A and B are shown apart, each in its own frame.
Chain A
Amino acid sequence: MRRGILVAIPVLGLAAMLQTSIVGRINLLNGAADLVLLILAAWGLQERVRNAWIWGAAAGLLVGFVSGIPWYVYLVGYLVVVGMARLLARRVWQAPLLAMFTVTLIGTLVLLMLTYLDRSLFEVSLAFNLSFVQIILPSILLNLLLAIPVHALIRDLANRLFPAEVVS
């Protein structure tokens, strides 16, 4: 339990740095992948992980601090991603990649819709069609492309931290 929380700090910190410096620059139209979201989705889907909610909250606060979007948008969005991942981890445990794709698809959509609503309501009116075509759809596609490698990496990390108990 404590190991998972301790690992969250460097993993999420590194992910946030990679997101702002590299991943955010890889654009499809005007969309970009969200590495932190993918890590949270993959972490939440690991069966033996018990601290995914803490990871979600930490990531939300961290990215919310860095971003110009209000912190609560990322906090809520990432907690939704973790909640979905935990739910699917129990029900679709035999198809982890399917679960990863589902969480990525819906999680990205939820987070970007929250961002869109926050900006439209409190800052500036944004054209929905343009936002959907130029940002939301490309971002979902990029996240789906990165979902498999991120899931593999996080699964390895989880297996190292929480090895399966051998029943003798």
Chain B
Amino acid sequence: MKTSFPRSLQTVIIVLVAVGLVALALGGYFNPVTSWFTRLTIDAQTWISTRTLAVADFLTVPRDVASLRQRNAELEVEVAQLQTQVIDLQQKVTETNILSALVDFARANPEYSYKAAAVIGLDPSPFLRYVIINIGSNQGILPGMPVVTDKGLVGRVDAVIAEAARVQLMTDAASAVNVRLQSSDTEAMLVGSVTGDLSLDMISQDATVTVGDVVLTSGLGGSYPPNLLVGQVVSVRKLDYELFQQAAIQPSVDFNRLGFVLVITNFTPVDITPLIATPGP
């Protein structure tokens, strides 16, 4: 059967249907259909997108882990290097502070010439209180030269080789330093001991010694220059039946933390041994 509608009528009907559909859509009658279609589209899009990302991850992540591990190792090495640098710099800061204090001391006492030295070792024998420093005769160091820090007297050079020297600390049992008490100007003898404690001996019974008195070198005997700080009196022992008073001294220098020292190079110790009277035959 053949359709007998003319073409113009068909066009009119199509336009009317289209207008009707548009009118129904604008009126909201197609909302369930459009929302179902939209949801279907979004679901499909989501599914495709998720799978695409999963595949992309699968292909790219192993390479990232390897590169991350490598980067992590590089960073760990860098951190270790930086930590080493920090420790090194902290050490340098400490050394600089000590050296700065030594320079201040040298400036405050310009009458002497100094050579700075690092303490590089202790005497192997526990009976001796000696340290080894890293400068020797090549740097002009001679036996007998006094050794100080910014805190005060340390001792004197005992033996020298080309690039090192051995220093007898004033705490050594065989060490004896002529000193004076600053407040009373009393002379005394500072002696070390086997335990490293310092004590003052040969203090006249008439002298007034009080706790806290500052002890300085007197310069007598010619072994040490005068007026170098030695320490402070911490206790006094005065017994009527003894010839002399005694006092315990707290040294101004911490001998357990001796890192750098100054050797006074323009002081020549005087050997008075020939002048000491010996009993005749």
Residues of A at the B interface (CB closer than 8 Å) are 16-17, 19-21, 24-25, 27, 29-32, 34, 36, 63, 66-69, 112, 115-116, 119, 123-124, 126-127, 130-131, 134-135, 139
Contact sample, A vs B, 29 pairs, CB 8 Å cutoff: A17-B121, A19-B124, A20-B122, A20-B123, A20-B124, A20-B132, A21-B122, A24-B123, A24-B124, A24-B126, A27-B126, A29-B195, A30-B126, A30-B194, A30-B195, A67-B123, A67-B125, A68-B159, A68-B166, A68-B168, A69-B123, A69-B127, A119-B174, A123-B173, A124-B173, A126-B194, A130-B195, A135-B194, A139-B126
Residue B130 interfacial (CB < 8 Å): yes
Among candidates B125, B193, B194, B196, residue contacting A68 with C-beta atoms closer than 8 Å: B125
Residues of B at the A interface (CB closer than 8 Å) are 120-128, 130, 132, 158-159, 166, 168, 173-174, 193-196
Q: Is the CB of B124 within 8 A of A67?
A: yes
Q: B144 CB to closest chain A CB, in angstroms?
A: 14
Q: Is the CB of B127 within 8 A of A34?
A: no
Q: Is the CB of A123 within 8 A of B124?
A: no
Contacts of B166 in A (CB 8 A): 68
Contacts of A69 in B (CB 8 A): 123, 125, 127-128
When A20-B121, A127-B194, A130-B195 are in contact, do A119 and B126 touch as well, CB less than 8 Å?
A: no
CA distance A16 to B194 in the complex (A): 22
CA distance A36 to B125 in the complex (A): 11
Q: Is the CB of A68 within 8 A of B123?
A: yes
Point out which of A19, A68, A116, A127 has the most chain B C-beta atoms below 10 A from its C-beta: A68
Q: B164 CB to closest chain A CB, in angstroms?
A: 9
CA distance A63 to B127 in the complex (A): 14
CA distance A68 to B128 in the complex (A): 7
CA distance A29 to B112 in the complex (A): 37
Among candidates A36, A63, A67, A131, residue contacting B194 with C-beta atoms closer than 8 Å: A131
Contacts of A32 in B (CB 8 A): 126
Contacts of A135 in B (CB 8 A): 126-127, 194
CA distance A36 to B123 in the complex (A): 13
Q: B191 CB to closest chain A CB, in angstroms?
A: 9
Q: B179 CB to closest chain A CB, in angstroms?
A: 18
CA distance A135 to B123 in the complex (A): 14
Among candidates A17, A25, A119, A127, residue contacting B127 with C-beta atoms closer than 8 Å: A119
Q: Which residue of A lies closest to B167 (CB)?
A: A68
CA distance A72 to B194 in the complex (A): 21
Point out which of A17, A20, A63, A116 has the most chain B C-beta atoms below 10 A from its C-beta: A20
Q: B175 CB to closest chain A CB, in angstroms?
A: 9
CA distance A67 to B195 in the complex (A): 18
Q: Is the CB of A134 within 8 A of B194?
A: yes
CA distance A119 to B173 in the complex (A): 9
Contacts of B158 in A (CB 8 A): 68
Contacts of A30 in B (CB 8 A): 126, 194-196
Q: Is the CB of B174 within 8 A of A24?
A: no
When A21-B120, A124-B173 are in contact, do A68 and B130 touch as well, CB less than 8 Å?
A: yes
Among candidates B120, B132, B173, B196, residue contacting A126 with C-beta atoms closer than 8 Å: B173
Q: Is the CB of A112 within 8 A of B132?
A: no
CA distance A16 to B158 in the complex (A): 20
CA distance A32 to B124 in the complex (A): 9
Q: Is the CB of B124 within 8 A of A124?
A: no
Contacts of B128 in A (CB 8 A): 67-69
Q: Is the CB of A130 within 8 A of B194?
A: yes
Contacts of B124 in A (CB 8 A): 16, 19-20, 24, 34, 36, 63, 66-67
CA distance A7 to B121 in the complex (A): 23
CA distance A119 to B121 in the complex (A): 21
CA distance A79 to B75 in the complex (A): 54
Q: B130 CB to closest chain A CB, in angstroms?
A: 5
Q: Is the CB of A66 within 8 A of B174?
A: no
Contacts of B127 in A (CB 8 A): 69, 112, 115-116, 119, 126, 131, 135
